[in-house]
Amino acid sequence: MFESFIATAPAVEISWRDQLQPASWRGIPFAVLGSRGRFGRRNAVHEYPYRDTPWVEDLGRSARRINIIGFLVGDDVIARREKLIAASESPENGELVHATLGRMTVNLLECEFEERWDKGRYFEVYFSFIEAGQRVFPNATASTANVVSSAADAADAASLGSFVARAEGALTQGAAVVKSAVSTASSWAFTAQKLANDATNLYHSIQSLPGTFGRYFGGKRRNKLDNFTGAIQATGSSITQLISLGSVARKSVSNASSILISNATNLGL
């Protein structure tokens, strides 16, 4: 029965007054009459011709600004005021204990005191604070895209250097072989062309005919030449026809030599 009562009992709410914290600036306490705070976002408003609504660019949270109206009272009010003045004139940021916002790191923008004869030992003080952040300097960071690109360039250069180093000997030997082949092919073509253009090739063509034609043609006597001419005519061929065949063969050799030299030169390239 007792346990059931504890379980169903309403939670005790903390009163507003119990949540208030004693206000102080840099550890120097003061009483609070009231305060105002300004919060929000930093916005850049862009307005354009012939457009009814603007475009509002959000630039992030704005700095929090706190304005406090406080007071000092007592026979030691002057000494306490001097401490607050010294704290307000100190450099860098400091700690503010706000009655409802709690502890904050702020910079003091302005501090005013008001003292009146009719209020005697009562001084009013006006604070204007702004939220302070940590001093952070920009840091240089490497672009990942540039790092990857640089690494790729280095890999390309390394692979190219390795290939050239390994293939240099083979390329040098291959160039020597190609040069030798070009020289040999050119020599063969030159020899064939020279043989084809030799004026005596017609004589050798006839002299190498089968039978006694060549022997008769090589003789020095007239009767042998006459016999040779008759023998040629007996075969159905003439000297003119043999010369024509020799010319055609010489042209074929010349064309083949030109093709051989051209192919060999292209191989060298």
Give the 3-state secondary structure of residue 182: helix
Q: Whole-number mean pLDDT of the chain?
A: 75
Count of CB atoms situated within 10 Å of the CB of 189: 20
Residue with the bigger pLDDT between 149 and 181: it is 149
Tokens of 260: 């051989």
In the prediction, which pLDDT does 18 show? Answer: 84
Inform me whether the pLDDT recorded for 65 exceeds 70: yes
Inform me whether the pLDDT recorded for 9 exceeds 80: no
Tokens of 68: 């406090």
Tokens of 23: 């206000």
Quick one: DSSP state of residue 70?
E
In the prediction, which pLDDT does 191 show? Answer: 64
Q: Options 3.30.565.10, 3.40.50.280, 3.10.450.350, 2.40.30.200; which CATH number does 2-131 get?
A: 2.40.30.200
What distance lies between CA 180 and its chain's CA centroid?
47
In the prediction, which pLDDT does 199 show? Answer: 45
Q: How confident is the model at residue 130 (pLDDT cuts 50, 70, 90)?
A: very high
Note the helical H segments in the chain.
2-8, 16-19, 77-88, 144-197, 201-207, 213-218, 222-234, 239-268
143, amino acid identity: S
